[in-house]
Amino acid sequence: MQPTRRCVLAAVAAAAAGPATAQQRIGLAERRGLAAYQEQVLPGLVQQINEAAGYDLPLEIDWNAIALAVVGHGERYTEPEFFTDIYFRPLIEALRAITRDAMGREALKSALKRVVFTYNAETAPVSNYPTGVSFADGTLRINFRPWANAADVTPRARAIQQLLERNL
């Protein structure tokens, strides 16, 4: 679990400090909110993801893109409706459904090599969740709108599960 967490933390530091225009840059409040999320919430979620998958699943999180979607709310990032219920709980639920038996565990481990979480304002669905997930070359990409329809954990999980099961 620790190497995955270190990769995630490195990704946020690079994204926050990386090239961005003044309008695209996340501020101090967002960077603090992301750091709090990574320290307080993310480790437990990574553990749940790995337990649900049955192996250490590499995660890549585009924190800069995700945080830009909710600028001005950095102090609330640790609340479930910002990131946890949008990205992580749906993935955990989908993985648990897939790995409920040995066949699913074996299929998942042989096919799913990493998960990429991102946000693209032009392509992230508001509610048509199957259009926000894709799978190619062993990579599951999840592109959901942060802090939108947070109660839709089950429909998001269903979209992830159905996509993976079609490709396993």
What is the mean predicted confidence (pLDDT) over 79-107?
A: 96
pTM (predicted TM-score): 0.85
**Domain tally, the chain:** 1
pLDDT at 14: 38
Strand partners, 143: 118
- Classified as helix, coil or strand, 37 is helix
Question: Comparing 3 with 69, which gets the higher pLDDT?
Answer: 69
Print burial letters for 30-61: b (CB count within 10 Å at least 16), e (below 16): bbebbbbbbeebbeebbebbbebbbeebebeb
Task: State the maximum Cα–Cα separation within the chain, in Å, rounded to a whole number.
Answer: 50
**Domain span holding position 102:** 2-167
In this prediction, residue 24 has a pLDDT band, given cuts at 50, 70 and 90, of low
DSSP 8-state secondary structure symbol assigned to residue 149 = S
User: Is the per-residue pLDDT at 167 higher than 90?
Assistant: yes
